[in-house]
């Protein structure tokens, strides 16, 4: 459902339209589009977004799936309030923000998810193991890795959990920018996006 400031049915809200805080991660637009594509959402999907940061994924998914439910998990109160402000800014009504640390807080989340997005969290293997228990058969997890350690940890976890239909995509995006009097291309930090499904 479009909002007043983003009156479109397509995702891809420009980064600068979100309120953000220094040092708080934000999934950049092109990476966000890849991540949302990997989630394979349905109109009424329940999505848990763990380590939701600025709240870009909850906002985009909330607009795409007004009949769905999004639970954004963020451990820091100030960052959780940032997510709430971004949801208000885009008139998103179907996002619930939970202040807590995964995996400890997961047992409190209701309803259980069809899809899980993991954008952060230091004990990534523990988080993956924990969310797997809440997923129904054919449930899907999408996780991002910004470094080789996270890439290895997520890949190893998918193997241990016997995930099926595993996909790994690495973003390679360049944006046109003005530098002085010249137009040049600047690279967006590459991110690995890993996805897998639970067996029937």
By the 8 A CB rule, do 145 and 191 touch? yes
By the 8 A CB rule, do 141 and 166 touch? no
pLDDT at 132: 96
Average pLDDT, the chain: 94
Residues in Cβ contact with 164 at an 8 Å cutoff, skipping those fewer than 6 apart: 196, 197, 198, 199
pLDDT at 76: 93
pLDDT at 36: 97
pLDDT at 119: 87
pLDDT at 48: 98
pLDDT tens for 148-169 read 999 999 999 999 999 999 999 9
pTM (predicted TM-score): 0.94
Sign of the dihedral through C-alpha 2, 6, 8, 12? negative
Between CA 156 and CA 162 the distance in angstroms is: 10
Res. 111: pLDDT tops 80: yes
Using alpha carbons, list the distances in angstroms from residue 55 to 3, 50, 58, 70, 163: 16, 10, 5, 11, 27
pLDDT at 190: 87
pLDDT at 109: 94
Res. 192: pLDDT tops 90: yes
Lowest mean pLDDT among 48-57, 70-79, 82-91, 171-180: 171-180
pLDDT at 172: 87
Residue with tokens 């910004």: 146
pLDDT tens for 16-74 read 999 999 988 898 999 999 999 999 999 999 999 999 999 999 999 999 999 999 999 99
């Amino acid at each position: 459902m479009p909002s007043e400031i983003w009156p479109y049915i397509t995702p891809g809200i420009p980064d600068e339209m979100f309120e953000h805080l220094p040092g708080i991660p934000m999934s950049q637009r092109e990476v966000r589009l890849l991540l949302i594509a990997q989630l394979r959402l349905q109109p009424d999907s329940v999505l848990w977004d763990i380590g939701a940061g600025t709240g870009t994924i909850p906002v985009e998914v909330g607009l795409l799936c007004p009949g769905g439910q999004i639970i954004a998990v963020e451990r820091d109160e100030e960052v959780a309030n940032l997510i709430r402000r971004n949801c208000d800014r885009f008139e998103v009504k179907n996002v619930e923000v939970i202040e807590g640390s995964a995996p400890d807080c997961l047992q409190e989340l209701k309803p259980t998810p069809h899809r899980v997005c993991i954008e952060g969290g230091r004990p990534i293997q523990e988080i993956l193991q924990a969310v797997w228990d809440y997923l129904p058969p054919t449930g899907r997890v999408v996780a991002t890795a910004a470094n080789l350690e996270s890439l290895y940890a997520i890949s190893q976890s998918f193997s241990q959990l016997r995930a099926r239909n595993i996909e790994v995509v690495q973003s390679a995006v360049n944006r046109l920018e003005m530098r002085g009097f010249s137009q040049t291309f600047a690279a967006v930090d590459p991110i690995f996006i890993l996805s897998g499904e639970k067996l029937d």
